[in-house]
Amino acid sequence: MNIDSLLDLNAGIVAFTDEGQRLAGRVCDLDGEDEFSFVPEAAVELDEGALLKLSDGLDAVMAKVLKRMPGAYRLCLECFNLKNDERRQDVRINDKLFLSIRRLGAASQRAGLLEDCRLRNQATRRIQESFLKGCYGYPASSGEAPVQEGALWEISRKLDLLINMNLSDDFRNLMQASPRAVNISAAGLRLVTEQEFAPGDILELALLLPQVPPLFIRTAAEVLRVKAVGGAGCPAWAIAVHFLEMSEENREDIIRYLFKRQREELRRRRSA
C-alpha cells in the first residue's frame, strides 16, 4: 500500500525531520508498494537512512531516506520505526488481515448505531472469555449448588452456545474471504475498498488477527477520509477509519500484535 493510498497527495505534503525541521514539498514517481520521491520546495540536506514523518494535514506516515537525487530524495515507507515521541497507539504496520466491512449508517444516526454495535461487541467479548479463556465453570464443581443455580447456569451456557454459533459464522465468513492489505494501528486503519463510503459514515468492522489463538475483534468505526484511487471500469477508494467503541482489552490486544509483527519484521531484515 503506497503513499497515495495513505495520504492526500493533492493537499500538499509536509515532511518533519527528527530535529523538528519542517519541509514543504510534493510526492511523485511512485514505484510498487512503498517507494516514491519527495521533492522539497527548498534545498535541504538529508542523510541516507534518516526518518521523516510526512503529513497531509490530516494523517501521517513514516518514511526512510534511501538516496539523494537531483532536487529530490528517494524514500521508502517505513512502518517499523517510530520517532521517540510517538505514542504506543501511533504504532502502524502494513499487513494483510481477514477483514469484513459493513456500513451501519450515516453520521446523523451515530448515537443509536453505536449503542447497537456496543451490545454486539460486548457479546463477542463475553463469548471469547467464555470459550477461549475458560472463564465459566460449573457451579457444582466446587461443592453442592442449589438446583436453581445449576438450572440458571445451564440456561446461560446454552445461550452462550447459540451466540457462539453465530460468532462461528463470522469466523467462517472471514476465513472464506481473501486477506486484505491494510495499514493498521490501535486507533484505526487504512485500506483500499471497492465499496464507496462517505466521510462520517459509521461502519462495523470484523477482523481476525493471525495469532495463537486467533483473535476475533468486532468494532464500530467512523470514516475519516475517502479518496478515489480506481481507474476506468475498476472503481476503488482509499479510506481511513477511526475505531469507535473499542474495548481497552481489544486495543491492547492490537498493540501487542503490532509490536509482535514489528519484532518479526526486524528479525527477518537482520537475517536477510
Long-range contacts formed by 161-165: CB under 8 A, 24+ apart: 163/123, 163/126, 163/127, 164/127, 164/130, 164/131
Least confident of 3-17, 118-132, 235-249: 118-132
Q: Is position 197 within any domain?
A: yes
CATH code (residue 138):
2.40.10.220
- Same domain, yes or no, for 116 and 35? no
- Same domain, yes or no, for 119 and 10? no
With the CA atoms of 97, 172, 219 and 7 taken in that order, what torsion angle do they form, in degrees rounded to the nearest 10?
A: 30
Q: Is position 85 within any domain?
A: no
Residue 27, pLDDT score: 94
Cell of 110: 451515530
Would you say residue 18 has pLDDT above 70?
Answer: yes
- Same domain, yes or no, for 73 and 183? no
Among residues 78, 103, 119, the one where a domain terminates is 78
**Per-residue buried b or exposed e for 45-59, using 16+ beta carbons within 10 Å of the residue's own CB:** ebeeeebbbbbbeeb
Q: Structural domain of residue 16, as residue ranges? A: 3-78
Would you say residue 142 has pLDDT above 50?
Answer: no
Q: Is position 88 within any domain?
A: no
Residue 50 to residue 251: CA distance in whole angstroms: 30
Residue 84, pLDDT score: 43
Count of domains forming the chain: 2
User: Which is nearest to 173 in space by CA: 212, 207, 224?
Assistant: 207
- Same domain, yes or no, for 122 and 255? yes
pLDDT band at residue 13, thresholds of 50, 70 and 90? very high
Would you say residue 21 has pLDDT above 70?
Answer: yes
- Same domain, yes or no, for 46 and 102? no
Helices marked H in the chain? 110-127, 147-176, 248-271
Residue 135, pLDDT score: 47
Mean pLDDT of the region 117-142: 58
Mean pLDDT of the region 7-35: 88
Residue 117, pLDDT score: 76
Q: pLDDT of 38-78, one tens digit each? A: 999 999 999 998 989 898 887 778 899 999 999 999 999 87
